[in-house]
């Protein structure tokens, strides 16, 4: 991932300590990564899921500090993993190093549970944001108001449930992603006997009847699903939707599956000005996440 990203954008990589930093630097040197664009930050973490516990950047026009970020409460995906809750502090440590303002919100939210089009629309799921293990004191309309306030959006689209094997209670980044302000990709299962089939059909149909913040109908592009992948008898949440959009490339997960080429081809058509790169994620997905889950984009500061 670093080798593909560093030629196009600055990459910040968290390391636990000095020993780890030296090891990582040696690995990157051996892999011939563009080290001039790689910064290693010594911030200890329990695990790699930066999208969920890390900062979510926002931009503000006509501000002295146009770039800032939101820091929500991370509770280990609804209290499932107590040890992981230690990563809740990581966002503030990043803020101290990058010297950016932080907006603190007393609301449980993970970055992988929201998807925005950059123009005023937010996608999320009922399974996750309305789950009693997140914010049982908040009603649906109160959560919508919170999203509008914290993300600067005006329109919320609710999908239903996520894919099988997803321990995050249905994160949106395994289901549907914006590729343009009015274009969204949505994973669809072709096998009607698969346990994902009905959930994904429901999400696809909801998107087809949805509009963006301007009231324009969305263009919905179907992404295939890979065949089920299992680890120790448990199904893993493998999804082609868990891609990361970078400056010059799009990094997409692949799984040694016949649908890999089809998914990459669809994404390449949607990103004609970027090179779509498939990265094998069979081992990564054993941790129940993929490329989007371990990344967090930092926007360029807007002009005031």
Chain segment 141-186, per-residue pLDDT in tens: 999 999 999 999 999 999 999 999 999 999 999 999 999 999 999 9
Record the tokens describing residue 173, joined without a space: 């980044």
- Nearest-angstrom CA–CA distance, 274 and 269: 10
CA nearest neighbour of 298 among 104, 94, 140: 94
Does 300 score more than 70 pLDDT? yes
Predicted pLDDT of residue 190: 97
Q: How wide is the angle at C-alpha 78 spanned by C-alphas 77 and 84, nearest 5°?
A: 50
Tell me which H or E stretch contains 73.
strand 67-73
Residue range 45-294 in CATH 3.75.10.10 = yes
Cα–Cα separations (whole angstroms), residue 100 to 41, 88, 167, 249: 15, 17, 31, 26
Active site residue 303: no
In the chain, count of helices (H) and strands (E)?
9, 16
pLDDT attached to residue 60:
81
- If pLDDT is split at 50, 70 and 90, which confidence band does 218 have? very high
Q: Could you say which of 122, 281, 293, 303 is catalytic? A: 293
- CA nearest neighbour of 117 among 53, 167, 182, 166: 182
Q: How confident is the model at residue 301 (pLDDT cuts 50, 70, 90)?
A: low
Where in the chain is CATH 3.75.10.10? 45-294
Q: Is the pTM of this model over 0.85?
A: yes
Percent of the chain with pLDDT over 90: 93
Q: Per-residue pLDDT averaged across 21-47, rounded?
A: 97
- Interval 38-71: pLDDT, tens: 999 999 999 999 999 999 999 887 677 788 999 9
> Please, what is the average pLDDT of the chain?
96
């Amino acid at each position: 991932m670093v080798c593909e990203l560093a030629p196009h954008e600055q990459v910040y990589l968290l390391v636990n300590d000095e020993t780890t930093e030296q090891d990582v630097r040696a690995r990157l040197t051996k892999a011939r990564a563009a080290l001039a664009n790689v910064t290693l930050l010594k911030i200890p973490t329990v695990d790699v899921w930066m999208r969920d516990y890390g900062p979510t950047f926002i931009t503000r026009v006509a501000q002295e500090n146009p770039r800032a970020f939101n820091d929500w409460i991370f509770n280990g995906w609804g209290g499932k993993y107590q040890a992981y809750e230690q990563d809740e502090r990581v966002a503030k440590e990043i803020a101290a190093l990058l010297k950016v303002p932080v907006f603190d919100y007393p609301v449980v939210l993970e970055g992988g549970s929201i998807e925005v089009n950059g123009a005023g629309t937010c996608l999320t799921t009922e399974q996750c944001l309305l789950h009693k293990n997140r914010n049982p004191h908040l009603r649906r309309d109160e959560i919508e108001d919170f999203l509008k306030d914290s993300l600067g959006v005006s329109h919320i689209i609710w999908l239903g449930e996520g894919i099988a094997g997803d321990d995050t209670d249905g994160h949106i980044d395994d289901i549907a992603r914006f590729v343009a302000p009015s274009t969204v990709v949505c994973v669809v299962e072709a096998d009607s006997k698969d346990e994902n089939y009905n959930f994904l059909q429901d999400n696809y149909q909801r998107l087809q009847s949805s509009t963006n913040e301007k009231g324009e109908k969305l263009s919905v592009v179907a992404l295939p699903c890979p065949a089920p992948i299992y680890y120790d008898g448990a199904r893993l949440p493998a999804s082609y939707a868990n891609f990361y959009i970078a400056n010059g490339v799009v990094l997409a997960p692949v799984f040694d599956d016949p649908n890999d080429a089809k998914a990459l081809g669809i994404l390449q058509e949607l990103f004609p000005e970027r090179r779509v790169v498939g990265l094998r994620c069979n081992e990564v997905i054993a941790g129940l996440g993929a490329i989007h889950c371990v990344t967090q984009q930092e926007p360029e500061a807007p002009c005031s």
